[in-house]
Amino acid sequence: MERKTKIDAEDGKQEITITREFDLPVELLFSAYVEPDIIEQWMGTKVLKLENKRHGSYQFETTDPKGNKHRFHGTIHDVNTNQKIIRTFEMENTPFDVQLEFLEFEKLTGDTSRLVMHVVYRSVEMRDQILKLPFAQGINMAHNRLQDVVNKSR
């Protein structure tokens, strides 16, 4: 069964909720967030630093197709194994302010689980800008599916 990611972004609010159900036991879902070699695989990033503990911190680095390196980092506020991670997230060398993330891992059945990411931004404007980022990048990419939709409507 295909499970879909849902984004709730109410107008005029400085927060969003990302919800996704997985065909995975909650323990495995949680491992994907705490084991550096696994994070590297699914996030497509290099893990420079990751301390999964209260008052810990992390720093990841991605390399775009042009070879430019982008780093992002944050502070781990709290970790509760198989239940929650509270952390900040900030893209380095961008005009975007830090955001606060509440990740809640929930057991549904023995083999299924749910992740709810509640993300709080500094302002409504900042949230909307960040939400539009992939949209703007999509328009710039020739082979993006969105480009076709936009072109057809012109």
Partner 1 sequence: MKTRRDIFQAIADPTRRAILSLVALHAMTPGAIADSFDSSRQTISKHIQILTECQLLQQEQSGREIFYHFNAKKMKEVADFIEPFRTLWDDRFNKLESIMKKYKPKK
- Residue in the block written with tokens 């509270």: 86
- Residues near 15 by Cβ (< 8 Å), separated by ≥ 6? 118, 119, 120, 121, 127
- 54 vs 62, which CB is nearer to partner 1? 62
Chosen residue from 62, 78, 148, 150 binding partner 1 by CB under 8 A: 150
* Residue 14 phi, psi dihedral angles, 5° rounding: -100, 35
- Say if CB 70 and CB 89 are below 8 A apart: no
- Contacts with partner 1, 129-148, as mask; x by CB under 8 A: --xxxxx-xx-----x-x--
18: contact with partner 1 by CB under 8 A: yes
9: contact with partner 1 by CB under 8 A: yes
Residue from 102, 59, 68 nearest 84 by CA: 102
Chosen residue from 13, 27, 48, 122 binding partner 1 by CB under 8 A: 27
Chosen residue from 17, 24, 72, 73 binding partner 1 by CB under 8 A: 24
> Between residue 48 and residue 107, which ones bind partner 1 under the rule CB under 8 A?
none
Cα atoms found within 13 Å of the Cα of residue 70, Cβ hemisphere only: 10
CB of 125 to partner 1, least distance (A): 10
- 38 vs 91, which CB is nearer to partner 1? 38
- Residues near 78 by Cβ (< 8 Å), separated by ≥ 6? 54, 84, 85, 86
Q: Which residues in this chain contact partner 1 in the complex, by CB under 8 A?
A: 3-7, 9, 11-12, 18, 20, 22-24, 27-29, 31-32, 38, 41-43, 115, 128, 131-135, 137-138, 144, 146, 149-150, 153
